[in-house]
């Protein structure tokens, strides 16, 4: 994880804020925007698309804010508060926007703290406390604390995105709340503004003074009058996050809020969801990082037995038990269907359980924890379940199983069609003694409404997540209310909490009075009126909330419509209906999407915010350099959704808002791999480019790039002349002015003697079809024309390994080799020329088909080209032939790794010379996205002594033509500087391996270090 220093790449409308906003919005918005621009340093975002991107969170709701402020400093927040108060515009504070109940959705000015207000202000290691700004992300805090042996233990699942301000707003709870409590148990103090602008310190009541003390007394007096009501209505469970924490003055919770039972007035703000005060900073209690953990996986023959056992398990461990997490049969099955997770899941199972509980104990010393596992086994034997516990003692095995649990949830969330798992009763908490009865009864409720839900998560505290599948565009809202009413009756029957983890927001606000009764609800209203008398902060939340099923507040509702478009790519596999009861999908194209499936593909984004990642994975490089919602996968998906549903005006799909949102997407496919619901923005960008360019036309640069495969062989004849561009002063400048190719970039070097001139290399097509060890080498435009050495190296190694190699060329069957080189159409796709790309891909597929039909591997060298065959070519309507070829298309190293596993490479291994030189490997984005990295390493390890080290990098920033484009050069270099270039510079004596043509170019441009293709690496090690 590398928190980056953000830099705003967008330019906003400082000079003409009023006019621009007034034109597109209204006069009040214009005045507000103008004041914010004048008086704050922050980004002032008042355009329709910006507002639309902040109109939703991870809930089902949507409300357009009047505008958005992204403050750069705390003073901006104070100023904005003053301006809004003066104009009567409500304020909606926001962190990562990962709330599931609509907490950050509101019509006022949204203030996004997550971009700039994320610093540690003070760390006291001895006192184990830290003071942070509200926009700090939990994982960043914990990364900073780790060297001190400390952590902030409220380990929410969204730890990579959730901000401490948002966590306090929601009173968030982690998987290990049994051991550490919720947010409220770990907040020591809060500095916050009231809506009148006064900045106050909220902390221990005993030390409070002035205004804070007076507020404390006011709330204390209210609470004192309500002791009987609190006793009667307050849920006696750890997980209760509804309403305000009136009970600080009359504790009834399972766990006291403070160690000594004293009152801390900061706890009044925790869980208040931005309705009482705006957080300036928070002081948090830290915990020592546990040195040891053991995990016992309990296998249950029935779900009910798992639910019944939870109450007994939580008695174990003498204080060292920290988590009891449920995984049900559906999730087990989902994990077992996934080859990556199946071995891990299998290792945790005995027999075929209907549910498992992950029981974790932690402490200082692993040996002291082993008796806990024995206690767990004894406990299970006592419940007639001997031999049901699988101990996992190794940290890596434990981590893998936790990852599987998370992935199982992700697969569940990736349901296609209009029916989606909906959050609204997903975190009701009931006492453990009633867990079995509650889950059985609620499952029956789902059945009554023709739906189902998968159960998972926090069995330790009686908060099981479950999301019934509902179609919110049709009868979902009605079913939602009916199910909520029946679920609430069960919660009341079992004396639980209706809102147990994720907060109230729009979804559970109306259930506050149901939970607490009229007198306590009235007290909440009085607290709100006392602290925010003008109703400036998140009005109509917690107090006086709307109905949960008010469809006017929803993102999708029965009035939602989608524009008709004719798509260039095939999106029909998303255009399906799902049977909510069985999960069965209808046939492709049966979903009734007027956008031919594109709208439904876009709707796969449920706004969970997982793409707001900062670690050096692949998703999402443009967000990592900008930290702008606009340049985030979620922001892009929202922009497309709004455009496709006509909410950004007419023709928005081909307009500026959509273009701008996709502008910095480098098509790395990181989202396809990492997004829990598989949003593939790279493919969407192709479609959108196609629609946009069809409407707006192609530039000269588009044509130059797209048609490169066509003119390359002719251009090569003028290589000397063309290569002057990077030698003669002024020519690069000219190419920037005329074509928009960055003058700061060198261009690939044309080769007069390119690979495709070697017409005699390899055997003919008919010969390879008869060969015993056949392979087809498909050389792409880029390697063939600019780096022919790679193609030759690949050829040489394959031959040395004993394969009969045919070099693919157009319609080679029956002819000699090299009738013309074959192109996948990638460069056309990148420019949105889908029809041209189709023609290219068709020719390629037809040329390769005879080999694929014979089961012969077709190996390629350039990841973006080879994976086009396995990915986009399948969405171009090229029929079953495309699938046949895709099944046999492999990266060169994937082929060698496969053959090595089959013991077919002994001869090659014997010919490879030993090396001691360090090897650093940078994976191309598509290699990572398609899981090709392991094979790349296997291939390198064929060299005796080779110990390749993977550089933890995301996109190199080149992304085909992107990095050459003048307007993208800076962004391209920033992406490279995030992790790739520093790692390359650091590895001074290493060979750098990078399979992507653009990656090699970027490494040379940015670090002046040569990088080589893996084929070249192996070829260099070949003994003659
Ligand atoms: C897949 C998924 C898994 C989740 N898992 C968990 C989980 O394990 N445990 C859990 O508790 N929750 C979970 N959540 C819910 C959510 O992620 C958490 O509540 C998280 O802490 C919210 O953080 P955020 O930064 O996104 O806050 P936001 O959603 O942006 O805001 C949360 C609340 O805080 C308020 N707020 C934000 N900043 C300020 C400020 N400066 N001043 C005053 N108020 C402010 C907002 O107005 C809002 O009411 C999950 C959500 C998803 C989508
Ligand atoms: S794009 Fe994927 S990861 Fe990002 S918010 Fe949408 S669903 Fe979540
Ligand atoms: S393809 Fe890459 S850059 Fe584009 S949205 Fe997905 S992760 Fe981000």
DSSP-derived secondary structure for 886-918: HHHEEEHHHHHHHHHHTT--HHHHHHBPP--S-
User: What is the Å distance from ligand 1's center to 98 Cα?
Assistant: 5
CA atoms within 13 A on the CB side of 272: 28
- What pLDDT is recorded for position 191? 98
Compute CA 738 distance to the chain's CA centroid, rounded to the nearest angstrom.
39
Closest by alpha carbon to 349, among 332, 371, 365?
A: 332
pLDDT digits (tens, 9 = 90+) for 415-455: 788 888 899 999 999 999 999 999 999 999 999 999 988 88
The residues of the chain scoring below 50 in pLDDT are: 1-12, 813-818
Torsion (CA) 413, 416, 417, 418 in degrees, nearest 10: 20
d(CA 30, CA 35): 9
916: exposed, middle or buried (Cβ count in 10 Å: 0-12, 13-18, 19+): exposed
- Supply φ then ψ for residue 29, to 5 degrees: -60, -40
Closest by alpha carbon to 682, among 832, 888, 833?
A: 832
User: What is the Å distance from ligand 1's center to 215 Cα?
Assistant: 26
CA atoms within 13 A on the CB side of 961: 22
Provide the terminal-to-terminal Cα distance of the chain, rounded to the nearest Å.
Answer: 44
Nearest CA to ligand 2 atom 2: 675
Strand positions, DSSP E, 74-221: 91-94, 109-112, 120-124, 129-132, 150-151, 187-193, 199-202
User: What is the Å distance from ligand 1's center to 390 Cα?
Assistant: 34
Query: Per DSSP, what are the bridge partners of residue 45?
Result: 68
Q: Which of 95, 141, 183 to mutate to test the pocket of ligand 1 (most atoms within 8 A of CB)?
A: 95
8 Å CB contact between 554 and 474: no
8 Å CB contact between 449 and 313: no
741: which DSSP letter? B
d(CA 759, CA 713): 13
d(CA 180, CA 287): 9
365: exposed, middle or buried (Cβ count in 10 Å: 0-12, 13-18, 19+): exposed
Closest by alpha carbon to 908, among 897, 919, 894?
A: 897
User: What is the Å distance from ligand 2's center to 611 Cα?
Assistant: 6
d(CA 216, CA 210): 10
8 Å CB contact between 236 and 252: yes
Ligand 2, closest atom to CA 612?
4
Compute CA 814 distance to the chain's CA centroid, rounded to the nearest angstrom.
49
Give me the helix-helix angle, 656-663 and 681-696, nearest 10°.
140
Residue 162 Cβ < 6 Å to ligand 1 = yes
Give me the helix-helix angle, 17-24 and 27-39, nearest 10°.
150
Give me the helix-helix angle, 329-337 and 395-413, nearest 10°.
100
Coil, strand or helix at 532: coil
373: exposed, middle or buried (Cβ count in 10 Å: 0-12, 13-18, 19+): buried
Task: Compute how many other C-beta atoms are within 10 angstroms of the C-beta atom of residue 126.
Answer: 6
- What pLDDT is recorded for position 11? 43
| Beta-sheet pairing, 43-45 with 389-392 | unpaired
Task: List Cβ neighbours of 684 (8 Å cut-off, separation of 6 or more).
Answer: 598, 601, 602, 636, 637, 640, 662
- Residue 1019 vs residues 193, 776, 807, 1024: alpha-carbon distances, Å: 66, 18, 17, 10
Residue 537 Cβ < 6 Å to ligand 1 = no
Residue 104 Cβ < 6 Å to ligand 1 = yes
pLDDT digits (tens, 9 = 90+) for 879-910: 999 999 999 999 999 999 999 999 999 999 99
- What pLDDT is recorded for position 407? 64
Kindly report the length of the chain: 1024
d(CA 1023, CA 1016): 13
The encoded tokens of residue 747 equal: 């261009």
Q: Which of 61, 69, 94 to mutate to test the pocket of ligand 1 (most atoms within 8 A of CB)?
A: 94
User: What is the Å distance from ligand 1's center to 102 Cα?
Assistant: 10
Q: Which of 56, 610, 671 to mutate to test the pocket of ligand 2 (most atoms within 8 A of CB)?
A: 610
The encoded tokens of residue 730 equal: 């002024």
d(CA 645, CA 653): 10
DSSP-derived secondary structure for 680-732: -HHHHHHHHHHHHHHHH---HHHHHHHTHHHHHHHHHTTHHHHGGGGTSTTHH
User: What is the Å distance from ligand 2's center to 668 Cα?
Assistant: 15
- Residue 1 vs residues 141, 618, 645, 929: alpha-carbon distances, Å: 11, 12, 36, 19
Residue 56 Cβ < 6 Å to ligand 2 = no
DSSP-derived secondary structure for 345-359: HHHH-SS--SEEEEE
d(CA 946, CA 689): 43
Residue that has been written with the tokens 């149901």 in this structure: 514
Residue 838 Cβ < 6 Å to ligand 1 = no
d(CA 1016, CA 201): 63
Query: Per DSSP, what are the bridge partners of residue 862?
Result: none
Q: Which of 671, 672, 680 to mutate to test the pocket of ligand 2 (most atoms within 8 A of CB)?
A: 671
pTM here is 0.94
d(CA 612, CA 690): 27
Nearest CA to ligand 2 atom 6: 605
Torsion (CA) 854, 857, 863, 864 in degrees, nearest 10: -10
Query: Per DSSP, what are the bridge partners of residue 109?
Result: 67, 91
Can you count the helices (H) and strands (E) in the chain?
A: 44, 27
User: What is the Å distance from ligand 1's center to 489 Cα?
Assistant: 27
Nearest CA to ligand 2 atom 7: 605
Task: List Cβ neighbours of 993 (8 Å cut-off, separation of 6 or more).
Answer: 919, 920, 921, 922, 936, 940, 948, 1011, 1012, 1013, 1014, 1017
- Residue 724 vs residues 706, 727, 746, 755, 1005: alpha-carbon distances, Å: 22, 5, 11, 21, 17
- Apex 601 CA angle, 616 and 705, nearest 5: 65
d(CA 260, CA 251): 12
User: What is the Å distance from ligand 3's center to 163 Cα?
Assistant: 22
């Amino acid at each position: 994880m590398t928190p980056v220093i953000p830099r705003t790449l967008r330019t906003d409308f400082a000079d003409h804020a009023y006019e621009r906003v007034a034109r597109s919005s209204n006069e009040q918005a214009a005045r507000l925007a103008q004041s914010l621009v004048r008086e704050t340093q922050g980004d002032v975002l008042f355009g329709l698309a910006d507002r639309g991107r902040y109109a939703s969170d991870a809930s089902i709701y949507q409300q357009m804010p009047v505008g958005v402020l992204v403050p750069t400093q705390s003073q901006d927040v104070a100023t904005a508060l003053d301006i809004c108060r003066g104009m009567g515009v409500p304020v909606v504070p926001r962190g990562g926007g990962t709330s599931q109940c609509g907490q950050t959705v509101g019509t006022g000015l949204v203030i996004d703290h997550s971009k700039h207000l994320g610093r540690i202000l003070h760390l006291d290691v001895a006192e184990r406390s830290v003071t942070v700004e509200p926009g700090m992300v939990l994982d960043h805090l914990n990364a900073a604390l780790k060297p001190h042996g400390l952590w902030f233990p409220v380990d929410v699942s969204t730890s990579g995105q959730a901000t401490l301000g948002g966590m306090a707003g929601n009173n968030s709870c982690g998987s290990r709340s049994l051991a550490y409590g919720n947010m409220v148990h770990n907040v020591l103090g809060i500095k916050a503004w009231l809506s009148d602008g006064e900045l106050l310190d909220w902390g221990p009541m005993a030390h409070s003074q002035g205004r804070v003390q007076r507020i404390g007394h006011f709330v204390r007096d209210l609470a004192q009058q309500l002791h009987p009501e609190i006793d009667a209505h307050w849920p006696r469970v750890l997980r209760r996050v509804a309403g305000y924490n009136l009970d600080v003055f009359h504790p009834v919770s399972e766990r006291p809020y403070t160690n000594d039972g004293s009152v801390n007035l900061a706890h009044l703000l925790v869980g208040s969801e931005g309705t009482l005060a705006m957080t300036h900073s928070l002081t948090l209690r830290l915990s020592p990082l546990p040195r040891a953990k053991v995990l016992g996986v309990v296998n249950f023959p029935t779900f009910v037995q798992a639910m019944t056992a939870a109450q007994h398990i939580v008695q174990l461990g003498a204080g060292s038990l920290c988590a009891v997490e449920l995984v049900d049969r559906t999730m087990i099955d989902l994990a077992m269907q996934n080859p990556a997770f199946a071995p891990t899941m299998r290792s945790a199972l005995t027999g075929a359980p209907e549910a498992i509980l992950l029981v974790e104990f932690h402490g200082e010393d692993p040996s002291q924890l082993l008796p806990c596992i024995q206690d767990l086994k004894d406990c299970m034997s006592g419940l007639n379940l001997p031999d049901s516990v699988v101990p996992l003692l190794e940290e890596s095995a434990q981590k893998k199983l936790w990852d599987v649990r998370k992935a199982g949830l992700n697969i569940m969330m990736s349901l296609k069609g209009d029916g989606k798992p909906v959050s609204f009763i997903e975190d009701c908490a009931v006492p453990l003694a009633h867990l079995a009865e509650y889950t059985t009864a609620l499952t029956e409720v789902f059945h009554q409404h023709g739906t189902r839900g998968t159960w998972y998560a926090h069995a330790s505290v009686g908060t099981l997540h479950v999301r019934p599948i509902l179609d919110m565009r049709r009868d979902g809202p009605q079913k939602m209310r009916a199910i909520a009413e029946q679920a609430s009756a069960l919660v009341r029957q079992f004396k639980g909490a209706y809102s147990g983890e994720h907060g109230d927001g729009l979804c559970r606000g109306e259930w506050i009075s149901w939970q607490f009764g009229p007198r306590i609800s009235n007290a909440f209203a009085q607290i709100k009126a006392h602290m925010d008398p003008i109703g400036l902060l998140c009005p109509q939340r917690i107090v006086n909330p709307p109905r949960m099923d008010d469809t006017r507040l929803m993102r999708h509702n029965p009035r939602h419509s989608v524009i008709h478009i004719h798509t260039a790519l095939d999106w029909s596999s998303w255009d399906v209906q799902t049977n909510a009861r069985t999960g069965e999908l209808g046939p492709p194209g049966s979903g009734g999407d007027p956008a031919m499936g594109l709208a439904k593909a876009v709707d796969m984004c449920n706004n969970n915010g997982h793409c707001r990642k900062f670690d050096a994975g692949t998703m999402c490089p443009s967000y990592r350099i900008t930290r702008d919602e606009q340049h985030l996968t979620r922001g892009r998906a929202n922009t497309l959704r709004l455009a496709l549903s006509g909410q950004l005006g007419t023709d928005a799909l081909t307009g500026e808002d959509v273009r701008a949102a996709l502008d910095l997407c480098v098509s790395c496919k990181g989202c396809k791999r990492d997004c829990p619901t598989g949003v593939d923005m790279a493919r969407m960008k192709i479609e959108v480019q196609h629609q946009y360019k069809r409407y707006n036309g192609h530039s000269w640069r588009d044509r130059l790039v797209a048609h490169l495969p066509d003119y390359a062989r002719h251009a090569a004849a003028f290589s000397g002349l063309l290569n002057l561009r990077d030698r003669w002063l002024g020519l690069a400048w000219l190419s920037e002015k005329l074509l928009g190719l960055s003058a700061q970039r060198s261009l690939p070097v044309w080769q007069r003697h390119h690979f495709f001139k070697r017409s005699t290399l390899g055997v003919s097509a008919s010969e390879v079809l008869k060969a015993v060890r056949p392979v087809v080498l498909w050389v792409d435009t880029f390697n063939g024309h600019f780096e022919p050495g790679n193609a030759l190296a690949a050829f040489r190694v394959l031959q040395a390994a004993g394969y009969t190699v045919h070099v693919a060329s157009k319609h080679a069957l029956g002819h000699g080799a090299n009738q013309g080189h074959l192109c996948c159409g990638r460069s056309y796709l990148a420019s949105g020329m889908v029809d041209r790309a189709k023609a290219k891909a068709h020719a390629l597929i037809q040329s390769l088909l005879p080999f694929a039909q014979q089961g012969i591997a077709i190996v390629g060298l350039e990841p973006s080209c080879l994976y086009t065959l396995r990915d986009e070519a399948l969405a171009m309507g090229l029929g079953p032939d495309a699938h046949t070829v895709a099944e046999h298309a492999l990266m060169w190293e994937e082929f060698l790794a496969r053959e090595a596993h089959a013991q077919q490479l002994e001869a090659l291994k014997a010919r490879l010379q030993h090396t001691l030189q360090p090897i650093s490997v940078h994976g191309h984005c598509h290699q990572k996205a398609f899981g090709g990295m392991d094979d790349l390493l296997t291939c390198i390890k064929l060299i005796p002594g080779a110990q390749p080290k993977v550089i933890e990098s995301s996109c190199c920033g080149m992304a085909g033509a992107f990095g050459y484009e003048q307007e993208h050069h800076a962004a391209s270099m920033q992406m490279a500087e995030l992790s790739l270039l520093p790692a390359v510079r650091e590895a001074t004596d290493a060979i750098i391996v990078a399979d992507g043509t653009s990656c090699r170019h970027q490494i040379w441009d940015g670090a002046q270090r040569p990088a080589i293709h893996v084929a070249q690496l192996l070829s260099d090690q070949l003994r003659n």
